[in-house]
Amino acid sequence: MVLAAAVNFNMEKIKQKIISFIQKKSTGKPVVLGLSGGIDSTVVAYLAVQAIGKEKVFGLIMPSKTNTKEDEKLAVLVSNILEIEYDVINIENILASYQQSCDYFNNKLNIGNLKARIRMSILYGLANATKSLVLGTGNKSEISIGYFTKYGDAACDLLPIGDLYKTQVRELAKYLKVPTAIINREPTAGLWIGQTDEKEMGITYKLLDQILFAMSHKKNLKSFNPIDIELVQKYIDRSEHKRKLPTICKI
């Protein structure tokens, strides 16, 4: 299955639709976003600049010791290409202050989630100080299976690429002429040494997107390995709470 063809992925049409979305929903306000050197944040930054102009887009680069030097280098490259203002804030000291204050952050998953929530707090600190909106960089693949940190990288005001599968984001990046070094690099959140998205998920984005697309359009799943289908369904079921507001006790 060629996903782009299956959903009639017209890149110019999608680009213009996202640009229009950012223009309308930002209501004249500036925007801030985290830049990781990855494809998702880069595509959002490119579209934001086209939508509201470079003067209204601010990037925050927030590395920790588990990020590679290339992460920061590519994030700075994107900022320079787009000519947007940016700041680099190393979060390692903030992370250490949490770990010194309590004993809750003592395994890599918990520490990884904390990093995402620290970055969220800094983004919203800047947004509040500058009366800006926070642009999220999550895509449909990750949202669908809960591959994000609740109240971390999921926290935002607008989700420009939230209805695009990861493989579609990659095609859009090519169309936008994003640097090939960013398009071709292995997706990683850099939450711990050696972490990659596909290794952690146990499935490639290409296969994940094909299964998600087939499920959402009620297509026959017989061409897929039952083990892969079961894995994706498990992720969907287990992460349902992440896609909903907290349950309220109705009186």
Is 58 inside any structural domain? yes
Please say if the pLDDT value at position 24 is more than 50. yes
* Confidence label for 8 from pLDDT (cuts 50, 70 and 90): low
CATH number of 46's domain: 3.40.50.620
d(CA 163, CA 175): 17
Q: Is 248 contained in some domain?
A: no
Does some domain include residue 195?
yes
pTM: 0.94
Instruction: Find the radius of gyration of the CA atoms of the chain.
Output: 18
Q: What CA–CA distances, in Å, run from 198 to 75, 125, 131, 203?
A: 21, 31, 36, 5
The answer to whether position 8 is within a domain reads yes
Give me the percent of the chain exceeding a pLDDT of 70: 97
What is the average pLDDT across 160-167?
Answer: 97
Any residues with CB less than 8 A from the CB of 247 and at least 6 apart, and which? Answer: none
In a domain, 238, yes or no: yes
- 9 falls in which pLDDT band (50, 70, 90)? confident
pLDDT band at residue 148, thresholds of 50, 70 and 90? very high
- φ, ψ of residue 144 to 5 degrees: the values are -60, -35
Domain presence at residue 7: yes
Position 5 scores a pLDDT of: 45
Cα–Cα distance measured from residue 203 to residue 232, given in angstroms and rounded to the nearest whole number: 9
Instruction: Indicate the average pLDDT of the chain.
Output: 94
Contact 215, 176 (CB under 8 A): no
Give the tens place of pLDDT for each residue, 32-54.
Answer: 999 999 999 999 999 999 999 99
**CB neighbourhood size of 27 (10 A):** 7
> Which residues lie across from 87 on neighbouring strands?
60
Residue 93 counted as domain residue: yes
Which H helix or E strand runs over 226?
Answer: helix 226-238
| pLDDT value at 88 more than 80 | yes
Distance CA 201, CA 207 (A): 11
Rounded CA-CA distance 242/146 in Å is: 6
In a domain, 250, yes or no: no
What per-residue confidence (pLDDT) applies to 229?
A: 97
Taking only the tens place, the pLDDT of each residue in 123-142 is 999 999 999 999 999 999 99
Q: Cβ(192)–Cβ(167) under 8 Å? A: no
CB 209 within 8 A of CB 167: yes
Closest CA to 166 of 142, 196, 146, 183: 142
* Number of domains making up the chain: 1
For the beta carbon of residue 7, count every other beta carbon within 10 angstroms. 14
Domain that holds residue 18: 3-243
